[in-house]
Structure formats: C-alpha cells, structure tokens
C-alpha cells in the first residue's frame, strides 16, 4: 500500500516563535485523528529547522527542509549541506520546487546531483516538477514532465525510488488560486506512473507516492485526494493556517 502524505511548504514565512506555535497547534489539532498510513510533514525555513525538530518531537509531525546544496562542503556561501541537515535531525528535503527553478535557476542537471547527494546520505526527497502554463497551452505538459523526470531521476536504480516522493506541481496552479482539476491531476499522475513503469517495473511505479501541489485548499482537497493515483498533497499557502492544514489532512 502506498503511503499517503500531506506536506506543508512554509516557504519564506514564520519566525522561530511562529514556527513553534504553528507546530504546537498542529500537534493538538491532529492528536486524536486516525492517521494510519499517513505522514504529516512541515517544511520551515533553514534557520527554524532545529527548533522545529525539537518542537515536533514525539508527535506525528515530521520536519523537512525546503532545499539543500549538492556538495558535501566547501566554498558555497549561503548554502546548507546534507550532513548539516542530518545533524539536526532532518532526513527529508524538498528539491526542485518551481520557485527554486525559476528564481534560483535550478536546472535538471543540478537537481540530479542533489538527488544523488540525498541517496548517498541515506536521506529522502520530495521531488517537485511540473509544467508552465505555456507548456500546457501548447499541449506539451506530458513531454515537459517526462523530460524533467528523465533528466533528474532516471539515472537512478529502481530501488532508489524508496527514498523518493514525487510532487507534481503544475506551475500555473502554484499560489495562483487556480487548481488543476481532479481529472487533470489524475491524468498526469497516471502518466507519471506509466513512465516509471516503462523505465523500471510495475512494482516501483505502484509503490512511489505521487503528491499533487497547486492551490490545494480545504474546499478542494477531498476531491483531488479521492483520485486513485493522487497519494496526497504538497501544500503552500493553506499550510500556514492550522485550521486549513488540518482540514486538508482530514481530507486524505
């Protein structure tokens, strides 16, 4: 059975105290929920990771990073390594978010290196990808997604996919209020599974969790999550409010 996951990407939001409060409130809000086979994840900014890990201890909530550098160490001012994250109890890292691709010029090639670093360190990634609006309008969305996956991930072995969570995030739906319809999400998730099966095996394809991200809210979460190939969501804006995030978790 595939693991269900609801992950909140906090982006450049929340001070140390605000992060602690949000985690504490979330802990309370979900403590009596039956969340069998469901992971609840939050991704605070780097400086608040260590304190967030402490606050989330002995709870269902996992704290993950929003990014990581591929090098072990060296002259990379402003960057953070896998080893540094592991040392504070962070085992999972979001990679390839569209905002990193757009504003920080992250390429598929750099992401392939980052994924290798994740695996060398026995960590896990939530790997994001998705097409631009112009790609979808030009009917190139399947092609774009296939090339993003193939460039950054398809050098891996099938067994490596145990450490990979995929997050399909059409860029036109991130932070815009515009969501892919549940049918559009299902269609793309089924396509992703089919190309993984073609490249690897049915077992690898059946076992990888594929999250949908892009303006998921309490009002649309249940319908999106009801689709057979959607295993949960990567949530931006709605993850900043405990009530909304809890409602989305309940919808899984």
Q: Which residues are catalytic?
A: 97, 169
Distance of closest approach, residue 171 Cβ to ligand PEP, in angstroms: 10
- Dmax (CA) for the chain in angstroms is 48
Of 93 and 238, the one with the shorter C-beta distance to ligand PEP is 238
Angle at 118 (CA atoms; ends 17, 169), nearest 5 degrees: 70
CA dist list (Å): 105 to 99, 174, 180, 243: 9, 18, 25, 34
Burial of 103 (0-12, 13-18, 19+ CB in 10 A): exposed
In the complex, the residues that contact ligand PEP under the rule CB under 6 A are: 9, 169, 174-175, 213-216, 234-238
* Of 161 and 172, CB closest to ligand PEP: 172
User: Taking CB positions, which residue lies at the least distance from ligand PEP?
Assistant: 236
Q: Minimum distance from CB of 46 to ligand PEP (Å)?
A: 16
Give Cα separations from 143 to 37, 89, 90, 154, 220 (angstroms): 32, 37, 33, 15, 27
Q: Quick one: which of 229, 208, 112, 106 has its CA closest to 163?
A: 208
The nearer residue to ligand PEP, 205 or 216, going by C-beta atoms, is 216
Give the tokens for residue 234. Answer: 């990567």
CB of 174 to ligand PEP, least distance (A): 4
Closer CB to ligand PEP, 80 or 221, in the complex: 221
In whole angstroms, how close is the CB of 99 to ligand PEP at the nearest point? 7
Q: Are 174 and 129 in contact (CB under 8 A)?
A: no
- Least separation in angstroms between CB 178 and ligand PEP: 9
- The structure tokens 């009596």 sit at 32
d(CA 209, CA 85): 23
Please say which residue, 189 or 200, places its beta carbon nearer to ligand PEP: 189
SS3 121: coil
């Amino acid at each position: 059975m595939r693991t269900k996951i609801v992950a909140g990407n906090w982006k450049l939001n929340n001070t140390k105290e605000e992060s602690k409060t949000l985690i504490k409130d979330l802990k309370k809000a979900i403590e009596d929920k039956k969340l069998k086979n469901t992971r609840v994840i939050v991704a605070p900014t780097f400086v608040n990771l260590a304190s967030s890990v402490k606050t989330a201890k002995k709870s269902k909530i996992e704290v993950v990073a929003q990014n990581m550098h591929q090098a072990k160490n060296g002259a990379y001012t402003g960057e953070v390594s896998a080893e540094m994250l592991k040392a504070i109890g962070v085992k999972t890292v979001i990679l390839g978010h569209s905002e990193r691709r757009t504003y920080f010029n992250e390429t598929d090639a750099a992401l392939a290196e980052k994924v290798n670093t994740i695996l060398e360190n026995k960590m896990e990634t939530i790997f994001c990808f998705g097409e631009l609006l112009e790609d979808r309008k030009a009917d190139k969305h399947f092609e774009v997604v296939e090339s993003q996956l193939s460039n950054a991930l398809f050098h891996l072995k099938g067994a490596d996919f145990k450490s990979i969570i995929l997050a399909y995030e059409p860029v036109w739906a991130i932070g815009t209020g515009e969501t892919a319809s549940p049918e559009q999400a299902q269609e793309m998730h089924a396509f992703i599974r089919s190309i993984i099966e073609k490249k690897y095996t049915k077992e690898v394809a059946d076992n990888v969790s594929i999250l949908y991200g892009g303006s998921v809210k309490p009002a649309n979460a249940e319908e999106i999550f009801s689709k057979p190939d959607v295993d949960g969501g990567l949530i931006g804006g709605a993850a900043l409010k405990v009530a909304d995030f809890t409602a989305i978790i309940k919808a899984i």
